[in-house]
């Protein structure tokens, strides 16, 4: 069977690869959506935090011999703490200002962080081996799927679903959502909103770092790895609807798949297709696919 000259197995394998990339988009856009929802900050530093997760994982392995599985937990914690520092020292001063200031501040942070890592490690990247447990691959009949890529999809969808559950279905999540709507009122009920905000930013940063650890064996660990992803991820958030949790997860996965198919039918457009979709969505639904119109 063939579709537009591409065999069915060919399409299936591209669908699967699209899901792998979509998993990274989902987990990164989720973090952005959570941060934007509560802090109203467009966190441009997300790509840098993602990169830090990967580089810290590489450093731990090469300088201290700490393995991948430990770093899957530790790297997000370290970057989360870095997030606390950023929020406490810098971001909290600009909440009252226009969105643009947050964007500029976090963009500046990105340039700083990337610059430091670039001057130390260069741009060619550092190799990180796939953990032994997940090395090798499975022949699915229509394609050879490296086990590690399958793990990426499973791990990121699990984390995304957990996050969604916590925010939408638990009491803590209820505070968070209430804090987004009306922080003053929530504070009046005795909830410490500033701490909640700090922890939210830290959590968003940790999510980015988690994606970074996941990506370390897939891409070369390089100071520029976040830069390549972040612009696409922003488009994902805009398409899904700013602040919508489930929206950003589904959009992330979906756009990964669309991008994957573009790579088969018209590869030259694969880096722009997401933005074309963004323009169309903004024209039809300015608040995004899952966003609420005010």
Partner 1 sequence: MKYKHTTLALMLAAAGLATGAAHAQEKVTIGFITDMSSLYSDVEGKGGATAIQMAIDDFGGKALGQPIELLTADHQNKADIAASKAREWIDTQGATMIFGGTNSGTALATAKVAQEKKRVYINNGAASSALTNEQCSPYTMHYAYDTVALAKGTGGAVVDTGGKTWFFLTSDYAFGHALEKDTSTVVEAKGGKIVGAVRHPLNASDFSSFLLQAQNSKAQILGLANAGGDTINAIKAAKEFGIDKTMKVAGLLVFLSDIHSLGLKNVGGLLHTTSWYWDKDDASRKFANAYFAKMKRMPTDVQAADYSATMTYLKAVAAVKSTDADKVMEYMKKTPINDFYAKNGVLRPDGRMVHDMYLVEAKQPADSKKPWDYLKIVKTMPGESVFTTKAESKCALWK
β-sheet bridge partners, residue 146: 137
Residue 187 CB, nearest approach to partner 1 (Å): 42
Residue 14 CB, nearest approach to partner 1 (Å): 6
β-sheet bridge partners, residue 221: 126
* 190 or 267: CB nearest partner 1: 267
* 231 or 250: CB nearest partner 1: 231
Between CA 182 and CA 36 the distance in angstroms is 15
- Cβ neighbours of 175 (radius 10 Å): 16
Q: Is 251 exposed, middle or buried (0-12, 13-18, 19+ CB in 10 A)?
A: buried
Residue 261 CB, nearest approach to partner 1 (Å): 9
What H or E segment, with its residue span, contains residue 145? Answer: strand 144-146
* 124 or 294: CB nearest partner 1: 124
Kindly list the distances between the CA atom of residue 188 and the CA atoms of 40, 44, 183, 184, 243, in Å, as whole numbers in the listed order: 21, 32, 9, 6, 24
Residue 227 CB, nearest approach to partner 1 (Å): 8
Gyration radius of the chain over CA positions: 19
- Cβ neighbours of 188 (radius 10 Å): 10
- Residues in contact with partner 1 by CB under 8 A are 7, 10, 13-14, 17-18, 20-21, 118, 122-127, 130, 137, 143-144, 146, 148-149, 218-220, 222, 224-225, 228-229, 260, 263-264, 267-268, 270-272
* 217 or 241: CB nearest partner 1: 217
Q: Is 84 helix (H, G, I), strand (E, B) or coil?
A: helix
Residue 131 CB, nearest approach to partner 1 (Å): 13
Residue 159 CB, nearest approach to partner 1 (Å): 20
* 137 or 183: CB nearest partner 1: 137
Between CA 246 and CA 104 the distance in angstroms is 27
* 118 or 169: CB nearest partner 1: 118
DSSP state of 62: I
* 218 or 237: CB nearest partner 1: 218
Specify whether the CB–CB gap between 32 and 263 falls below 8 A. Answer: no
What H or E segment, with its residue span, contains residue 138? Answer: strand 137-139
Residue 262 CB, nearest approach to partner 1 (Å): 9
């Amino acid at each position: 069977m063939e579709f537009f000259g591409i065999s069915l197995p060919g399409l299936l394998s591209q669908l699967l690869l699209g899901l792998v990339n979509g998993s990274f988009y989902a987990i990164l856009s989720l973090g952005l959506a959570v941060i934007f929802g509560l802090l109203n900050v467009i966190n441009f530093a997300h790509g840098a935090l993602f990169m830090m997760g990967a580089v810290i994982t590489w450093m731990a392995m090469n300088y201290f011999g700490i393995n991948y599985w430990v770093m899957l937990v530790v790297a997000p914690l370290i970057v989360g703490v870095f997030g606390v520092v950023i929020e406490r020292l810098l971001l909290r001063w600009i909440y009252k200002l226009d969105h643009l200031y947050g964007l500029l501040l976090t963009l500046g942070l990105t340039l700083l962080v990337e610059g430091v890592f670039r001057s130390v490690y260069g741009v060619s990247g550092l190799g990180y081996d796939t953990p032994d447990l997940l090395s090798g691959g499975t022949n699915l009949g229509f394609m050879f799927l490296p086990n590690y890529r399958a793990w990426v999809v499973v791990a990121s969808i699990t984390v995304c679903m957990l996050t969604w559950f916590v925010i939408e279905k638990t009491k803590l999540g209820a505070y968070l959502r209430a804090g987004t709507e009306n922080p003053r009122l929530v504070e009046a009920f005795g909830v410490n909103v500033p701490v909640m905000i700090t922890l939210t930013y830290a959590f968003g940063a940790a999510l980015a770092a988690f994606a970074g650890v996941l990506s370390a064996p897939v891409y070369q660990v390089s100071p520029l790895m976040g830069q390549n992803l972040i612009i696409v991820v922003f488009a994902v958030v805009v398409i899904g609807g700013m602040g919508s949790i489930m929206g950003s997860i589904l959009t992330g996965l979906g756009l990964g798949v669309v991008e994957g198919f573009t790579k088969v039918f018209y590869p030259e457009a694969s880096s722009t297709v997401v933005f074309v979709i963004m323009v169309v969505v903004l024209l039809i639904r300015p608040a995004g696919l899952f966003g609420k119109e005010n």
